[in-house]
Structure 1
Amino acid sequence: MIGFLLRGILIGLLFGVPAGAVGAMTVQRTWSSGVKAGLLTGLGSSVADCFYASVGAFGLTLISEFLLKGQDIIHCIGGVLILAMGIGLLLKKGSGRVKEAEASDYLRMFFSSFAVGITNPAAIITFLLAFSWFGITAETGLLKGILLVGGVFLGTFIWWGILAAATEALKKKAKQIDLTKLNKVFGAILSLLGAAVLIGFFSEISSMT
């Protein structure tokens, strides 16, 4: 039974390592607002991963079919969201120094990363492939499925915790860095990632016409 939890943790770790947009958000927010901000950003993504892992683990075919059929539109929405956050960082003005985040900021950090994670319906395919590799099927049962999904959550969140802790450690050792310039760097990264998603979407649309 415990094997399903351990396999879920391993899958979560493997799935979390290709950080992408959420990784950039986690590093930027940890650097600008501390470890708590980075952890809450990672938490939002982990919750989104748990949703898709649940769809795969429990064989919720109606949901998976609906999401996969509409994945291009959903992914496009995610691209717009990432691009908007990137532009927001590029245009953000401030003192250039680290500032403690407020409660409303933490909520925004959580829900923005959750939105980025949930607008990636192709994650269902990734989890299904991972489950298949580890010999896991939808007939594993309720308890084993819960342990598996719980393991995925732990695995992904462990990765975000490692990334946030590493960023905080680097920040303490690094020389003083102007936060405004750093925001522009991460704003550019997010803008490029969002633009890449949208270019891929419109390229696919044009090829179908």
Structure 2
Amino acid sequence: MNFQILINGIIIGMSASIPLGPIGILCIQKTINKGHFAGMVAGAGAAFADTFYAVIAGFGVTFITNFIEEQQIYIKIIGGIILLILGYRIFSTNPAIQIRKNRNNNNFLTDFFAIFILTLSNPMTIFFFGAAFAGFGIVREQSNWAELLQLIGGVFLGAAAWWFILTTFVNIFRKKFRLKRLWWINKIAGSLVILFGVFVIISLFFIKF
């Protein structure tokens, strides 16, 4: 095993996850409202989606890359709509009612796939991984399958580690939030996610058809 390649993958995976965008806000909100495990499940959805794009970039699946590039407008439209819907749901959620529901039903699988699909709706991620791999001197033609698998594994570990760190940190202060603060957190988080959705949709007008 080439530990340098694994470490490079971990660094790249964390670098892809650390910027606090709508995914980070959603994971924080779920951790505060539903608990550490819910936040980790949501983060795992993002980590798997990032790893999927890393696989495409690492193994050079050209037809998928071309498809994503050609359909990025529609992918962004879907992503923007999902953000608007999720943002509205968070904004309008009553934390007291949500806490009662969480005690009886925690649909973690839904949270996982919602974040997974939402992360996939950002097609620029694949180009980030392509540039990052090149920046670390990882050339597909000069790397064997074992090295590429180590790299992809490192990306997943790095992304998963970041979401674990973030949700653990948020969970430490979770019990200090009372219902009134949770109400405001939902309003702020929902508003930010809606703004991200609006930004995504507005950005479509700057894409050359």
Q: Same fold (TM over 0.5)?
A: yes
Q: 1:186 matched to which residue of 2? A: 189
Segments of 5+ residues of structure 1 without an aligned counterpart are none
Which deviates more, 139-148 or 30-39?
139-148
Q: 1:110 matched to which residue of 2? A: 112
Q: Deviations over 1:21-65 (max 9, x none)?
A: 110011000000110000000000100001100011111111111
Cα separation, 2, equivalents of 1:53 and 1:103: 34
Cα separation, partners in 2 of 1:182 and 1:175, compared to 1, 3 Å: closer
Cα separation, partners in 2 of 1:14 and 1:129, compared to 1, 3 Å: same
Preserved CA contact (<8 Å) 1:21 1:190: yes
Preserved CA contact (<8 Å) 1:96 1:180: no
Cα separation, 2, equivalents of 1:102 and 1:146: 40
Preserved CA contact (<8 Å) 1:74 1:119: yes
Instruction: Give TM-score scaled by structure 1 length.
Output: 0.91
RMSD: 1.8
Q: 1:137 matched to which residue of 2? A: 139
- Within a 5 Å distance, the mapping from 1:59-208 to structure 2 comes to 59-95=60-96, 98-99=99-100, 100=102, 105-139=107-141, 140-172=143-175, 174-178=176-180, 179-201=182-204, 203-204=205-206
Amino acid at match of 2:35: G
Give percent identity, aligned residues only. 33
Preserved CA contact (<8 Å) 1:33 1:101: no
Instruction: Give TM-score scaled by structure 2 length.
Output: 0.91
Q: 1:32 matched to which residue of 2? A: 33
Cα separation, 2, equivalents of 1:166 and 1:124: 28
Preserved CA contact (<8 Å) 2:95 2:179: no
Amino acid at match of 2:67: F
Segments of 5+ residues of structure 2 without an aligned counterpart are none
Cα separation, 1, equivalents of 2:36 and 2:156: 19
Partner secondary structure for residue 95 of structure 1: helix
Cα separation, partners in 2 of 1:97 and 1:124, compared to 1, 3 Å: closer
Partner secondary structure for residue 173 of structure 2: helix
Cα separation, 2, equivalents of 1:45 and 1:101: 25
Preserved CA contact (<8 Å) 2:41 2:108: yes
Q: Which runs of 4 or more aligned residues in structure 1 lie more than 6 Å from their structure 2 counterparts after TM superposition?
A: none
Q: 2:49 matched to which residue of 1? A: 48
Deviation, 1:94, is 4.6
Preserved CA contact (<8 Å) 1:44 1:111: yes
Deviation, 1:188, is 0.6
Cα separation, partners in 2 of 1:189 and 1:59, compared to 1, 3 Å: same
Amino acid at match of 2:76: H
